[in-house]
Chains A and B, each alone.
Chain A
Amino acid sequence: MAETRVPLQRPLSPHLSIYKPMLTMMMSIVHRITGVSLYAGIMLLVWWLLAAASGPNAYSRVQWFMGTLVGRLVLFGYTWVLIHHMLGGIRHLIWDTGHGFGAVEREWLARANLAGSILLTIILWVVGYAVMGGAQ
């Protein structure tokens, strides 16, 4: 029934390509990308938990992978993505209260989100290596 109707040529809302890239816009896109990354990354978490539940052999394979350069890079990326998405989420929760929409505030929040995630990730890894001590 509806198939025969020719769609009207209504004006579309402007798409991403029409805007000049801005920090707040990039942060919005990154928030979505980090969310998708965490969606995929949860497989790593499940692997780790199942391996721990399976026994020493399975767990040693996880430990071996996490010890490789690729494993370390994946883990480093994972922690940054997780922290960035969490801080981005807190930014959204602040906006939900009706605050932080001003030109100065939203720019400040975006910068704090980015700087905070990088800083916290580095601190976490420094602490992580300190905890491990000479284990590796």
Chain B
Amino acid sequence: MSAPHIRTPLGRVRGLGSARSGTGHFWHQRLTAVSNVPLVIAFVLILVSLLGRSHAAVVQILGSPLVAIVMLLFIASITYHMRLGMQMIIEDYVHDEKWKIAAVIANTFFAIAVASAAVYALLKLSFGV
């Protein structure tokens, strides 16, 4: 990114591997693993506090600012983490290039669809309509 005119094309991809992303996958996996820990604990506590409550009470709690923000962060963190994890599994076990690419794309679409559905639900709980 920095000084693009000085670095040669070879210099820019050197050390970034065949996927041209270097250790990005590994690093994001660890980054979301770290963020997952407090967010999963918070989610479990929220879940336990909602056990057996009426729909109205659940809507009120999930729609309160702090709970909603924590839940949104939780969803973002876990869906990104699970996408990275599943991609690693696909790359380990699916050796046919076409199927591998198809599976990696499907994995990304699934993660985005799941995240969108959860975010939509949480925003609806917060803003009503």
> A residues engaging B (CB < 8 A)?
32, 35-36, 38-39, 42-43, 45-46, 49-50, 52-53, 55-56, 59-60, 79, 82, 86, 89-90, 92-93, 96, 124, 127-128, 131-133, 135-136
**A124/B40 in contact, CB under 8 A:** no
Given that A79-B44, A132-B51 are known contacts, is A45 also in contact with B37, CB under 8 Å in the complex? no
**A36/B55 in contact, CB under 8 A:** no
A50 to B118, CA, bound (A): 7
- CB-based closest 4 A-B pairs: A135-B52, A49-B121, A53-B121, A132-B52
Q: Say if the beta carbon of B34 comes within 8 Å of chain A.
A: yes
Q: Produce 1/0 per residue, B59-70, CB < 8 A to A.
A: 100100000000
**A46/B33 in contact, CB under 8 A:** no
**A124/B48 in contact, CB under 8 A:** yes
**A42/B122 in contact, CB under 8 A:** no
Q: Is the interface of A mostly helix, strand, loop or mixed?
A: helix
Given that A35-B82, A39-B85, A89-B37 are known contacts, is A46 also in contact with B30, CB under 8 Å in the complex? no
Given that A93-B33, A131-B52 are known contacts, is A124 also in contact with B121, CB under 8 Å in the complex? no
A133 contacts across to B, CB distance below 8 A: 52
Distance in Å from the Cβ of A3 to the closest Cβ of chain B?
A: 13
> B residues engaging A (CB < 8 A)?
30, 33-34, 36-37, 40, 44, 48-49, 51-52, 55-56, 58-59, 62, 78-79, 82, 85-86, 89, 114, 117-118, 120-122, 124-125
A89 to B39, CA, bound (A): 14
Distance in Å from the Cβ of A44 to the closest Cβ of chain B?
A: 11
A40 to B117, CA, bound (A): 15
A136 to B30, CA, bound (A): 40
B86 contacts across to A, CB distance below 8 A: 35-36, 39
- In the complex, 22 of the A-B residue pairs with CB atoms within 8 angstroms, ordered by the A residue number, are A35-B85, A35-B89, A38-B82, A49-B117, A49-B125, A50-B118, A50-B121, A52-B125, A53-B120, A53-B122, A53-B124, A56-B56, A82-B44, A89-B33, A90-B37, A92-B33, A93-B30, A93-B34, A124-B44, A128-B48, A132-B52, A133-B52
A42-B78, A89-B37, A90-B37 known; 12 new pairs, CB 8 Å cut-off, are A39-B85, A42-B82, A46-B114, A49-B62, A50-B117, A52-B59, A82-B40, A89-B36, A92-B33, A93-B33, A127-B48, A131-B52
